[in-house]
Amino acid sequence: AVAAQERELLTLEAALARAGIVDSADEPPENPRLIGPRAEADAARALVDQARLRPNPEIALEAENIAGSGAFSGLQATEYTLSLSQRLELGGKRGARVRAAQAEARVATLSGALSVAQLGRSVRERYVEAVAAAARLELARDIVERNRELARIAGVLVDVGREPPLRSLRAEAALAEALAELEAALAADSTARNALAALWGEATPATDVPSVFPEIEPPATLLASRSALRLQVARAEREAADAAIARERSLGIPDPAISAGIRRFEES
């Protein structure tokens, strides 16, 4: 008989790395569950830099009296005007715009951190469920082997006349029940590993997990009371709403524009 090769077991740390919760030297592919929140946070930070920009100056070139009739035919009396104008923001528009963008960026950043923490908790929960399913599967296999051996012994005893046939029938029934439990355990194990692999976007079941429960430390960010991320996100959203109101109120003050230019008369 050839000894079965030991299969690679998925540890909790490896599962967290696959999900993108912790850094990994293997650089796993991006988790679809984290791409969106991270992209939103990056976009919100970019909008802060854009909010700091002042209005761009405007340049205009006008031409009059072109291709008319009489004295204005052709380009004889053409007038060219080149002007440059700059809008001046009043009423604290730029500061209000920057504060609103910073508040939105904080909301996006905290929401992304909350998504990572929630995903980490889900990975830990489903990993424990997969370990429990693996333990039940291992127990079911042991029970099948034991009942198979008992059924064999009962068959031998019946054959030699030391036990009635009912003993063998009972042993076969117990074996059939154990095989049914094994099939159920196999299905539960596959379902648990599928649910775990779905957290990092894999369609195939995750690698086998050990049947021994690991030491798990819950994320401190979700256990803390006053500094919980949910509360921080709610406060950030309220501050962002206040900043957005202040920004819209600042738009009620009109902005003057300063312009200067030169005009050229073709005739003179």
**Which has the closest alpha carbon to 7: 219, 160, 189, 179?**
189
Which of 2-11, 148-157, 162-171, 225-234 is predicted with the least confidence, judged by mean pLDDT? Answer: 2-11
Residue 151 pLDDT: 93
**Residue 6 covered by a domain:** no
* Residue 234 within any structural domain of the chain: yes
Residue 226: what pLDDT? 46
127: in domain: yes
pLDDT score at 30: 78
For residue 245, the model assigns a pLDDT of 95
Band (pLDDT 50/70/90 cuts) for residue 26 is: low
pLDDT: is 220 or 154 the higher one? 154
Does residue 166 form part of some domain? yes
Taking Cα atoms as reference points, which of 133, 52, 170 lies closest to residue 100? Answer: 52
Q: Using alpha carbons, select from 40, 39, 35 the residue that is nearest to residue 19.
A: 35
Residue range of the domain that includes 198 = 12-265
| 123 found inside a domain | yes
Residue 215's pLDDT is: 76
Place of tokens 């950030």: 236
Pull the structure tokens for residue 161: 């006349």
Percent share of the chain, pLDDT over 90:
56
Q: pLDDT (tens digit, 9 = 90+) per residue, 74-90?
A: 666 788 899 999 999 99
Distance CA 178, CA 182 (A): 6
For residues 79 and 268, the answer to whether their CB atoms sit within 8 Å is: no
pLDDT of 5 higher than 70: no
Query: 60: which 2 tokens?
Result: 């205009």
Residue 97 has φ and ψ, to the nearest 5°, of: -65, -40
Q: Which two tokens stand for residue 14?
A: 């490896």
Token duo for residue 97: 């715009």
Other residues' Cβ atoms within 10 Å of the Cβ of residue 105: 23
Q: For residue 268, with 0-12 CB atoms within 10 Å meaning exposed, 13-18 middle and 19 or more buried, which class applies? A: exposed
d(C-alpha 226, C-alpha 223), whole Å = 10
For residue 63, the 8-state DSSP code is: E
Q: Is residue 115 domain-resident?
A: yes
Q: Are 186 and 139 in contact (CB under 8 A)?
A: no
pLDDT of residue 4: 35
Mean pLDDT of 152-168: 89
Q: What is the pLDDT of residue 81?
A: 93
pTM: 0.72
Q: Is 5 domain-assigned? A: no
**CATH number of the domain to which 253 belongs:** 1.20.1600.10
Q: What is d(CA 231, CA 7) in angstroms, rounded to the nearest whole number? A: 43
More confident residue, 87 or 1: 87
Q: With beta carbons less than 8 A apart as the criterion, state whether 185 and 136 touch.
A: yes
> Is the pLDDT reported for residue 46 higher than 90?
yes
Q: How many helices (H) and strands (E) does the chain have?
A: 6, 3
pLDDT for the residue 1: 33
Mean pLDDT of 44-58: 94
Span 247-258, average pLDDT = 93
| pLDDT band at residue 27 using 50, 70 and 90 as cut-offs | low
- Give me the pLDDT at residue 98, please: 96
In this predicted structure, which of 62-76, 113-127, 150-164, 216-230 has the lowest mean pLDDT? 216-230
Query: Count of domains in the chain?
Result: 1
Q: What is the pLDDT of residue 179?
A: 95
Residue 148's pLDDT band, with cuts at 50, 70 and 90, is very high
| Residues 183, 31: Cα–Cα separation, whole Å | 32
Q: Taking a C-beta distance cutoff of 8 angstroms, is the pair 99, 250 a contact?
A: no
2 found inside a domain: no
